[in-house]
Structure 1
């Protein structure tokens, strides 16, 4: 028959044994967990405490006025994520490259980020021309691009997250508003001479003529960075 002291001893012993078993099991689990480098078969710049990403926008040239804001926003978001503990306990490190408002430079910098720096993903491009320039690089290297702005649509890729609206989700709404609110019937289309304006204007013209019953009285395109529109 158990005495009070024996019951107390048994309880203490079982508690200690259970605790020891839990500690041993936890220790074995920790010991059995491999390091990131041991299981990272992608070769990407991800370690136990850090993940490296790229930012690729124009810091110089014609498009800098639009793209510097994106760089600032992306850096702010990354700073806030890091201050909240990072991604799965890993801090985000950023490598920033300048596309310099030049499409071949965008492609060159994209390849550098993916092949040399091994970044986990890239936040970048702005114009559709820069996106078109880097797309073959991302598809060849199987990289991941977050494209941060609106675009003309008519493109899909497993290597790109298109985060903005395409043309039918923004331009058509503006045309409808102009027609309904301002009573606009005639339209003059003006844009920079590259893929986004030209494709968007094709979509706009079709909507104006076939849906709104309006008329396009003129259509002109100018080089990107052009500032003299006196002829209009």
Structure 2
């Protein structure tokens, strides 16, 4: 077992978020969330008197690079704790590395579910925490005819499979489904937009990610579609993409997430002010950024209690632990390593801000295998946002 004290007296944390490439628009916000938490922790004396030291690499939005760099962090840099990844294809590259090396990996991104690893702490929403509330809201407010558009990799295909099953339960149907490369340009959506015009769905469900999101929403607007009548609803479109899309093209579109920066609570305001102090503006804060932020803080508290890099002991410290996050109180579920999270539905206003319209009052226990995807489950009951 590696000694709990690093050679330079610090605790090393591998940080694997892309600063370049097609998913960098969201991963930069995740990296910033992690670095903000590290800065706050170190300004208060670190962990046990020793600082957290980020060891940062840029995987360039290339899935294979995440696995290669995870191996480098562990074997060459002596790192036992890592945080990173946005796309599920990247996480799948890291997973065998951290399991083989018995490291602990923090994944601060919503994902498709249907996974468990003792070496992963999952900080993003799984389908029962975002897909189920979103489906309930859309069926109630827009209609039953859905059109799916996604990037062509694991998460969109699996997320759409789950959403299709949820919609069936509520009397919905999928009238179109298309996948495009992650690197698709605006022109790549032309045929899909023509088909949307022909089939006239009530709502579009998008699992397009990264720069493709920006291109899709702008192309939708430029083709003359009005999101206030037929919106694009998504689990992956956050503040960073909306800023790049522009308010005119983004108004009326919908996202489900545990956190939006327009939440007006004392904890959220402090988080945003701290972020703005460090990075100059809070404009690009996203739910995935907030997740990276609270995961690093929860790791630091576990390290403070354990004062060791023993992975099994650290995991025991983390499981069942709670934290007062910007989104509200959260908890790492000891049953499955996922996190109790809040559920909110927000719509983009004319200024380009997400305004929360509905929310589930209490955090939702994660059900990564969607054992009970019941739209009538009282746990998923949406209420008017306060």
- Shared fold (TM-score greater than 0.5)? yes
Secondary structure at 1:170 match in 2: helix
1:128 alignment partner in structure 2: 88
- Which whole-Å CA distance do the structure 1 matches of 2:5 and 2:70 have between them? 15
Number of residue-to-residue matches in the alignment: 190
Give the helix-richer structure, 1 or 2. Answer: 1
1:162 alignment partner in structure 2: 122
Q: Structure 1 stretch 73-82 or stretch 119-128: which is displaced more?
A: 119-128
Q: Does the CA-based 8 Å contact 1:121-1:145 persist in structure 2?
A: yes
- Contiguous gaps of at least 5 residues in structure 1: 1-40
Return closer, same or farther for 1:159/1:225 CA change in 2, 3 Å cut-off.
same
- TM (norm. structure 1) is 0.79
- Which whole-Å CA distance do the structure 2 matches of 1:86 and 1:185 have between them? 52
Residue 42 of structure 2 corresponds to residue 82 of structure 1: yes
Offset, 1:73: 1.1
2:171 alignment partner in structure 1: 213
Matches within 5 A, 1:18-57: 41-42=1-2, 46-47=6-7, 49-57=9-17
Which segments of structure 1 move beyond 4 Å, counting only runs of 4 or more? Answer: none
Secondary structure at 1:90 match in 2: coil
- Which whole-Å CA distance do the structure 1 matches of 2:87 and 2:65 have between them? 13
2:366 alignment partner in structure 1: none
1:193 alignment partner in structure 2: 152
Residue 54 of structure 2 corresponds to residue 60 of structure 1: no
Secondary structure at 1:230 match in 2: helix
1:202 to 154, 161, 165: 161
- TM (norm. structure 2) is 0.48
1:224 to 145, 166, 182: 182
Q: Deviations over 1:174-206 (max 9, x none)?
A: 111011122x11001111111111001001111
- Contiguous gaps of at least 5 residues in structure 2: 193-386
- Which whole-Å CA distance do the structure 2 matches of 1:99 and 1:48 have between them? 26
Q: Deviations over 1:94-150 (max 9, x none)?
A: 110111111111111000001111113111111111000110000011111100111
Return closer, same or farther for 1:71/1:45 CA change in 2, 3 Å cut-off.
farther
2:257 alignment partner in structure 1: none
- Which whole-Å CA distance do the structure 1 matches of 2:8 and 2:184 have between them? 48
Q: Deviations over 1:38-97 (max 9, x none)?
A: xxx325762583111110011111011110111111111100000011111111111101
Matches within 5 A, 1:103-122: 103-122=63-82
Q: Does the CA-based 8 Å contact 1:45-1:120 persist in structure 2?
A: no
1:34 alignment partner in structure 2: none
Q: Does the CA-based 8 Å contact 1:44-1:118 persist in structure 2?
A: no
Matches within 5 A, 1:1-12: none
Give the CA RMSD over aligned residues: 1.4
Q: Structure 1 stretch 47-56 or stretch 126-135: which is displaced more?
A: 47-56
Question: Which structure: larger Rg?
Answer: 1
Q: Does the CA-based 8 Å contact 1:124-1:148 persist in structure 2?
A: yes
Secondary structure at 1:122 match in 2: strand
